């Protein structure tokens, strides 16, 4: 291979650096590209809209099933005279039903924050522990603390 001469260098530089592109986008090519993009966007949006409708339908079905189960549980607890409570650990709140209040000798409005079949216990976890029988409270509090600290996977207490 021969060495570059100044002439070769200038010729190669002009050839590679001064390239001019004569191709311009014609209006029909731009319109075609735009239509393709819009059609693709429409197909994608159609997919997401159908999926969203399906999810909304599933949510409605689950809400209806949950409401039916809630009504069923209500009828069972009333007919069996079951005092029930739900402990929401993260919030430190306890939700109780009417039967639970009556079993303890209170009117529901004395113990609960609002009316309704289920409502939050005024005072939450602390009130629940205060109302517990004195023989049950220390052991239950210890078991609950142990469970909440992660030392046990589950806990179960029976109250008589």
Listed by start position, the domains of the chain span 23-80, 82-160
In degrees, rounded to 5, the angle at the alpha carbon of residue 33 between the alpha carbons of residues 28 and 35 is 95
Mean pLDDT taken over the chain: 84
Region 82-160: CATH code: 3.30.450.20
Does the pLDDT at position 57 exceed 80?
yes
pTM above 0.75, yes or no: no
Does the pLDDT at position 4 exceed 60?
yes
In this structure, are residues 120 and 100 in contact, taking their beta carbons and an 8 Å threshold? Answer: no
Lowest-confidence pick of 22-26, 91-95, 112-116:
22-26
C-alpha separations of 9 from 2, 19, 81, 83 in Å: 12, 16, 101, 96
CA distance linking residue 44 with residue 47, whole number of Å: 5
In this structure, are residues 120 and 95 in contact, taking their beta carbons and an 8 Å threshold? Answer: yes
pLDDT level of residue 26 (50, 70, 90 thresholds): confident
DSSP 8-state secondary structure symbol assigned to residue 150: T
pLDDT the model gives residue 22: 60
pLDDT level of residue 144 (50, 70, 90 thresholds): confident
pLDDT level of residue 139 (50, 70, 90 thresholds): confident
DSSP 8-state secondary structure symbol assigned to residue 26: -
Q: How many CB atoms lie within 10 A of CB 73?
A: 15
């Amino acid at each position: 291979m021969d060495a570059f001469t100044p002439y070769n260098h200038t010729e190669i530089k002009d050839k590679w650096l001064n390239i001019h592109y004569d191709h311009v986008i014609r209006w029909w090519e731009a319109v075609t590209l735009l239509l393709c993009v819009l059609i693709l966007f429409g197909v994608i949006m159609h997919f997401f809209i159908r999926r969203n409708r399906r999810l909304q339908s599933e949510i409605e079905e689950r809400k209806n099933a949950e409401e039916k189960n809630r009504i069923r549980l209500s009828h069972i607890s009333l007919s069996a005279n079951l005092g029930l409570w739900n402990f929401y650990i993260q919030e430190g709140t306890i939700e109780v039903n009417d039967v639970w209040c009556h079993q303890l000798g209170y009117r529901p409005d004395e113990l609960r924050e609002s009316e309704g079949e289920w409502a939050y216990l005024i005072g939450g976890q602390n009130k629940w522990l205060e109302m517990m029988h004195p023989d049950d409270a220390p052991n239950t509090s210890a078991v609950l603390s142990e469970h909440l600290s992660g030392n046990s996977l589950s806990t179960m207490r029976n109250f008589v």
